[in-house]
Amino acid sequence: MTTPVARRRATASAPLDGREIRALLDDLDGQIISMVLRRAELARHDQSVRRTSGLPASELARENGVLRRYAEELGRHGVDIGRAVLVLSQLTRGVRGKS
């Protein structure tokens, strides 16, 4: 199955209309959500391994590095996105559908 983004890459020379743009944005939002959920799953596993090893669940230096990377790549507001990603990564299972 091809995503709207993949289909759009194949026909990138034609101008986009509003409906196509919204479909591409929706597709990207879905990809972002899937990646954040995957990151949260991996972070929970990492936290579990750290706890089992007798270490703190999180590593402040690593978290600061993550925030720095978001800031460098996305600017000042990238830190807000980085913080949100870290918070979501620290939540317990069942993030989907929770607020």
In the chain, what are the domains?
4-90 (1.20.59.10)
- Both ends of the chain: CA-CA distance in Å? 31
- Distance between CA 11 and CA 97 in Å, rounded? 35
3-state secondary structure of 15: coil
Nearest Cα to Cα of residue 26 among 2, 6, 5, 10:
5
| Positions of the chain with pLDDT lower than 50, given as ranges | 99
Given this model, what pLDDT does residue 80 score?
97
**Rounded to 5°, angle at Cα 59 from 66 and 63:** 15
Q: What is the mean pLDDT of the chain?
A: 86
**Helix (H), strand (E) at residue 26:** helix 18-52
